[in-house]
Amino acid sequence: MIRTVPVGLGDRAYDVVIGTGLIDKAGEHVLPFLSKRRRCAVVTDANVGEHHVERLSVSLEKAGASVDVIVLPPGEETKSFEGLAHLSDQLLALNLERGDMIVAFGGGVIGDLAGFAAAIYKRGVDFIQIPTSLLAQVDSSVGGKTAIDTPRGKNLIGAFHQPRLVLADLDVLATLPARELACGYAEVIKYGLLGDFDFFEWLEKNVHAVLERDTEALVRAVGRSVEMKAEIVAEDEKEAGRRALLNLGHTFGHAIEAEMGFGDALKHGEAVGVGMAQAFRFSASQGLCPAQDAVRAVAAIKAAGLPTTLSEVRSGPFGADALIAHMGQDKKAEGGALTFVLVRGIGEAFVAKGVDPAPLRAFLLTEGAAG
Ligand SMILES: NC(=O)c1ccc[n+]([C@@H]2O[C@H](COP(=O)([O-])OP(=O)(O)OC[C@H]3O[C@@H](n4cnc5c(N)ncnc54)[C@H](O)[C@@H]3O)[C@@H](O)[C@H]2O)c1
Ligand SMILES: O=C(O)C(=O)C[C@@H](O)[C@H](O)[C@H](O)COP(=O)(O)O
Ligand SMILES: [Zn+2]
């Protein structure tokens, strides 16, 4: 089974190919994008490398490509200035040329880092995304946001750089740890919560099928997510307007991630789980959204085993002012004022500019943050 979702971006358009058995056929898919000397640098992490990189290399080599593999340490810490310096140096050591291809083979950390390296290496080389986590298949491999974190915040240094192709092989999810699958589910349910009530209702009924990796359920979950992201990105590539909806839960979530220091204790998908729950509760507290929609949204996030409250993230409290300070670094902020993605109900997100910090602070106190 193969499904192709086009991302309509004119001269930067590309396909997202979703299906099974794609790693073994990667060479065929990638070959048309290689230059004459057919050289690729595959960037992966140690976990993905251990399970899958051999098959990918064989497939690329069978198609006539010459392949070098760069293996990085797994984890969010790799998506940093240090990780970028290390990767750039490895690419230079291989003497990769401008016409060569970088292949990002891993989760969102590898995709964001290798994509950013591709955007700036020798002022820009092409790259292909072969996402291996559910989160990367439904979200980070599509849309061209690439970045690294800094201690001051999430994804603060980066570039828009679209891949030439995305190959999402559902088979590789077989080796993905259950915790990571739940992280990916957070971004899947985000699409339902932000703009597709029917998809949300389907997820309510099929959460266990998705988490048990039932192929049919994965095809629908990944397919619908990518379709929604592709449609939004094609309309608003650089987040001038509607693309901000994809940030539902992220202004809250990124602030929590920054406070937690971008490590293993709290993963991005988990932060988005709490962040989306807070976006619904905050919207309800401001009279924007019916309280029962917030209760239902939170229950659906919880059903995947994701956290929905600050106290599940850390027993010690978060400082309300520290969280608000992080929110000030959010890329959606305008003229010093905060922008949030809020909701009128399930499937009805909207962009709220100029959010007053006073009710926000009061809300965070009700959430258990310290004053
Ligand atoms: N660019 C975007 O639009 C976008 C969107 C969403 C998230 N992100 C970013 O993505 C990152 C999170 O991505 P993630 O959740 O994929 O994290 P990740 O890349 O750290 O991968 C999660 C873990 O799973 C392992 N793994 C991945 N695929 C595997 C497989 N098939 N088998 C076994 N292990 C596997 C990895 O080694 C890692 O330990 C964050 O940095 C987030 O900011 C970016
Ligand atoms: O693609 C987008 O646009 C998103 O916002 C998707 C998010 O899930 C993702 O985490 C993204 O990296 C966040 O972007 P940022 O601009 O808030 O750093
Ligand atoms: Zn995200």
In single-letter form, the type of residue at position 184 comes to G
Give DSSP secondary structure letters for 184-215.
HHHHHHHHHHHH-HHHHHHHHHHHHHHHTT-H
Q: Is the pLDDT of residue 150 over 90?
A: yes
| Domain carrying residue 43 | 2-175
Q: Is the pLDDT of residue 117 over 90?
A: yes
pLDDT in tens, 333-356: 999 999 999 999 999 999 999 999
The ligand placed nearest to the CA atom of residue 111 is 1
Helix 197-211 × helix 178-195 angle, to 10°: 170
Kindly state whether residues 25 and 145 are assigned to the same domain. yes
pLDDT in tens, 153-211: 999 999 999 999 999 999 999 999 999 999 999 999 999 999 999 999 999 999 999 99
Give DSSP secondary structure letters for 96-162.
--TTSEEEEEESHHHHHHHHHHHHHGGG--EEEEEE-SHHIIIIITSS-EEEEEETTEEEEEEEE--
CA atoms within 13 A on the CB side of 361: 11
Kindly state whether residues 278 and 219 are assigned to the same domain. yes
Assess if residue 185 is contained within a domain.
no
| Interval between CA 59 and ligand 3 midpoint (Å) | 31
> Which residues, at least 6 apart from 3, have a Cβ–Cβ distance to it below 8 Å?
17, 18, 19, 219, 223
What is the rounded distance in angstroms from the CA atom of residue 65 to the CA atom of residue 42?
11
Kindly state whether residues 169 and 203 are assigned to the same domain. no
Is 145 among the residues known to form the active site?
Answer: yes
Kindly state whether residues 94 and 169 are assigned to the same domain. yes
What is the rounded distance in angstroms from the CA atom of residue 334 to the CA atom of residue 303?
35
Kindly state whether residues 295 and 213 are assigned to the same domain. yes
Kindly state whether residues 218 and 309 are assigned to the same domain. yes
What is the rounded distance in angstroms from the CA atom of residue 139 to the CA atom of residue 189?
11
**Among the listed residues 189, 212, 210, 209, the one whose alpha carbon sits nearest the alpha carbon of residue 201:** 189
DSSP 289: S
Kindly state whether residues 146 and 293 are assigned to the same domain. no
Question: Going by CA atoms, what residue is nearest to atom 18 of ligand 2?
Answer: 155
pLDDT band for position 303 (cuts 50, 70, 90): very high
Residues with CB under 6 A from ligand 2: 139, 143, 145, 154-155, 187, 239, 243, 246-247, 250, 331
> How far from chain centre, in Å, is Cα 146?
10
**Among the listed residues 34, 37, 38, 2, the one whose alpha carbon sits nearest the alpha carbon of residue 18:** 2
**Among the listed residues 115, 144, 139, the one whose alpha carbon sits nearest the alpha carbon of residue 10:** 144
Region 26-52: mean pLDDT is: 98
Region 270-285: mean pLDDT is: 98
Region 270-275: mean pLDDT is: 98
| Interval between CA 145 and ligand 1 midpoint (Å) | 14
Is 39 among the residues known to form the active site?
Answer: no
Kindly state whether residues 66 and 156 are assigned to the same domain. yes
Q: Show which of 140, 175, 210 is a domain's final residue.
A: 175
Is 348 among the residues known to form the active site?
Answer: no
Q: How many domains does the chain have?
A: 2
Q: Is the CB of 355 under 6 A from ligand 1?
A: no
Kindly state whether residues 148 and 225 are assigned to the same domain. no
Q: Is the CB of 129 under 6 A from ligand 1?
A: no
Kindly state whether residues 151 and 223 are assigned to the same domain. no
Assess if residue 181 is contained within a domain.
no
CATH of the domain at 325: 1.20.1090.10
Q: Is the pLDDT of residue 1 over 90?
A: no
Per the prediction, the chain carries an average pLDDT of 98
Predicted pLDDT of residue 38 = 97
| Interval between CA 202 and ligand 1 midpoint (Å) | 24
What is the rounded distance in angstroms from the CA atom of residue 241 to the CA atom of residue 82?
32
Q: Is the CB of 135 under 6 A from ligand 1?
A: yes
Kindly state whether residues 164 and 209 are assigned to the same domain. no
Region 309-329: mean pLDDT is: 96
What atom in ligand 2 is closest to the CA of residue 154? 18
Is 187 among the residues known to form the active site?
Answer: yes
Assess if residue 114 is contained within a domain.
yes
Is 164 among the residues known to form the active site?
Answer: no
Kindly state whether residues 342 and 222 are assigned to the same domain. yes
Q: Is the pLDDT of residue 116 over 90?
A: yes
pLDDT in tens, 19-38: 999 999 999 999 999 999 99
Region 124-150: mean pLDDT is: 98
